Every structure is written in structure tokens, then in C-alpha cells.
Amino acid sequence: MRIAVVGSGYVGLVAGACFADLGHDVILVDNDKEKLAALKDGQVPIHEKFLPELLNRHRGQRLSFSDDLEQAVRACSAIFIAVGTPSTEQGEADLSYVESVARQITGGVEEYKVIVEKSTVPVYTSEWIRKIILRNGASPESFDVASNPEFLREGTAVTDFLFPDRIVVGCDNDRCAAVLREIYEPLTSGTYYKRADAIPQPDRASIPAPIIVTSTKSAELIKHASNAFLAMKISFINAVASMCESVGASVNQVCHGIGTDSRIGPRFLNPGIGYGGSCFPKDVMAFRAVARECGYDFRLLDEVMRINEDQRHRFLRKVRSALWTLRGKHLGVLGLAFKGGTDDIRESPAILIVQSLLQEGCKITAYDPAAMERTREVMNSGIKFVNSAYEAATAADALLILTEWEEFANLDLNRLNTELKYPIVIDGRNLYDPEVMAASGFTYYSVGRAASHPEGVPALKNGTHKA
């Protein structure tokens, strides 16, 4: 099938490359000519595993690039809208880009097309897209609007697309649903997975991929409800971690105890410094705004956001507790991206913590395997970027772990101890065992677990220790 994907951002670029890998002919459309030129030249603008391989495999063959939306619509049977939906000041999703695309699509609707929402949008967006296209002159029989929300995690977006937990397709008639079923047939039939050049299968993959066909409104709600629930799960375990610290329990043991319940499950029960990125903060606010428009006060979401913000403040209090005063302190920082496996720093709790520490008068030496260039674009004073975790630790008063990169969980502890001015590690991602850290000579703070100290280094009442 010939498919147009409008928008070459995170969702659009991954979707376009993956549709091409399924065997479709894809036109990736964007009005940013510089970005298109870079893509045509083989440059990959985001850090995402397997994406460079897919772009190199299909660029100039099954995957082409264009800035002519009308022409792309005429040439394709399905048009996926994957443009940005940033938050407004009121927390609602800004749908102006979606509306603009809907207006432009109309000029290319000459025979039957399926227009598919791929961007994360509130309920009723499909109805508005249909209204806009009709207002601009398309006949009612010439198109349908569907919702096909994405459930991609940054860092594993390609495998999430090709090995999905489920494919949700929101359609209001059988003709429209048949087009979406055909597009995803290589996944739902399992034929894609038999190919020798298929992307490697991740753990816990559902093969063949299950497809769920719903109404468009249900599909729109599924996306926002899914992200809000996952954000709630993160905030819940962070709140439990705070209780663990107060009573002297181990959040690891609590997570294991509740995560083995099949009704709850262990995933997303990872205490830390809170969620971030381009999805959860935006989508939780947008879902709350949708609820208010519908006349429902979704106060649970207010608490989810409050706990998430408080988690950063609690971590900063840990830093103060470990160091007493912050002005003039030299801190090593490991991690700037909002999570491991990506270079995305949008709403990154690591960045927000670093900014707060800089305001307190700290000097920061930071290392991240992928996100330093993006961080340089928004922060260039008071922070020094280095090329390894050990360089970040050199002569630092303490080392802060803010992103769960795999390499940060496998450091040479003896070398790390030697590099630090004081052997203090404040771990916002619980990458290490407190007993192991104490045995290695570190004063170690983490989330939801008691601080640990080397033998002979007594803790003070306020949580600090005698250096």
C-alpha cells in the first residue's frame, strides 16, 4: 500500500521507517526543507535503536521524502497525521498543526482515502478533522477518518512499533477498518516475523501482534488513559518510596511483594526522580483538560502531577542532606536525558534538577552517552560536559545518578571511589545495592531505601555523615 506520513518528528519518522520495513511504499511529508534534506542525506536526527538501519535500508526505495502534501495525498491510500500536539498554557493539547494538515489534505482527496490520527490527540479530534475536510470541499464519501494511537517508548520505539503489545485501530465503518487491517497485516498475520531481515525480537513480544478495533472515540481515549495510568503507577510507587524512607522499609522489597501480584505486575514500579519526556507530562495534563471539558474533575491526575514534581524536590533535599550546604559545591552528574536509551531532554527530571542545583550555586560536571549535544543547546553556563562517567566524578564533592543508562549501573566502584573528592553517591535511579556501596567505601543515598555508610563513618541526625 502507498502511505503518506505527515510529520517527520519522533512518531512520524519511526512510523514511516517501520511501515516501509513492513513492505509499504511510504512518503514522509514535512514542511521543514532543512530537515528533509538532512534525512535524504542519511542523517538521523534522533537517538533511537535500529532507526538508522531502517532508514538506510529503505531511503530512496520504499521510503521517500517530500514537502508537497497535496501531491502525497493524491498518490496514497492512507494518510497518517503525525504532527506535534504541544501543551498550551492551560494544559490542553494544541491542535493547530493537526487542523492545518487537515485543511491541506483536502486538496488531494480525489478518490477514497483514509485519514489516520497518529498524533496523540483528545477525544473528538477525529470528528473535527472530518468537519475541516468537509468544510474545505471534500465529498463525504471520498474519505474516512480513523484513530491509530502510538504506544512507543523512546529508546525502544522501533521494536515497540514492530512488536507491539497491541495495535489499536479506531474506525467507524468496515471499509475504513479494512484499510487499517491491510496495513498492519504483516504484523497481525506474523509474516513479518518470519523474515530473515526482521528487526530482532525483544523479550515478552506478542507474536503475532494482536489488533483491537474500536470506535474512533474509544481509540482516542485509550491513548490518553494508557499514558495517564502509567504515570499514575510511577507516582504511586514514588509515594510508597517516600513512606519506606520514613519508616525504614526497603522499597525494593515492597516493589517485589506487590509486583508479583498478576493484577499489578512489576513494570513501571521503579522508584526514582519522577517521569518526564515528551509524552507523560503533556498527556496527563491534556487528559485532565479533556475530563474538565466533559464536566468531570479528574483530581486523581492532579495528585499524580503533584507527586511527580515533589519527587524532584525530595531528591534535592537528599543532596542537601548529604552535603549540608550547596553553594560552591562541585557535583558530578551522570545522565541528562529523561530516560536511558534516548537523547530526549524534554521535561527531563535530570535537567530540572541540574538547573535547580546551578541556581543554588553548584558547579556541575556532567556526562550522558547521548543527550549532551541537546543539553548544550539549552544550557551552557555553569555546566561542564565530559566524555565519561569517571571524568564527571573527578574531584567532585558527590556524584549524582539521574538517568538509568546501563553503563551507569556497571561502573568500576574502586576507580569511582578514587576519582571522587568525597566518596558520596546520590542515586536517583536505584542502580546499586546499598550494602555493596557501603562495602566499597561509599556513603550512598537512593530512593525509598535507607542511606548506607562505610564502616566507621557515622551518620548524623539530619542524614549527613562525618567526612
User: Which are the catalytic amino acids?
Assistant: 279
For residues 147 and 115, give the distance between their C-alpha atoms in angstroms, rounded to a whole number: 8
Report the half-sphere exposure of 340 (CA within 13 A, side-chain side): 14
For residues 361 and 192, give the distance between their C-alpha atoms in angstroms, rounded to a whole number: 54
Q: Which three cell numbers stand for residue 398?
A: 558527590
For residues 74 and 67, give the distance between their C-alpha atoms in angstroms, rounded to a whole number: 14
Least Cα distance to 151 among 303, 297, 283 occurs for 283
Q: Which three cell numbers stand for residue 29?
A: 511529508
Using only C-alpha atoms, the chain has a radius of gyration, in whole angstroms, of: 24
3-state secondary structure the chain: CEEEEECCCHHHHHHHHHHHHCCCEEEEECCCHHHHHHHHCCCCCCCCCCHHHHHHHHECCCEEEECCHHHHHHHCCEEEECCCCCECCCCCECCHHHHHHHHHHHHHCCCCEEEEECCCCCCCHHHHHHHHHHHCCCCHHHEEEEECCCCCCCCCHHHHHHCCCCEEEECCCHHHHHHHHHHHHHHHCCCHHHCCCCCCCCCCCCCCCCEEEECHHHHHHHHHHHHHHHHHHHHHHHHHHHHHHHHCCCHHHHHHHHHCCCCCCCCCCCCCCCCCCCCHHHHHHHHHHHHHHCCCCCHHHHHHHHHHHHHHHHHHHHHHHHHCCCCCCEEEEECCCCCCCCCCCCCCHHHHHHHHHHHCCCEEEEECCCCHHHHHHHCCCCEEECCCHHHHHCCCCEEEECCCCHHHHHCCHHHHHHHCCCCEEEECCCCCCHHHHHHCCCEEECCCCCCECCCCCCECCCCCECC
CA dihedral 334, 340, 341, 346 (to 10 degrees): -90
Least Cα distance to 172 among 208, 124, 107 occurs for 124
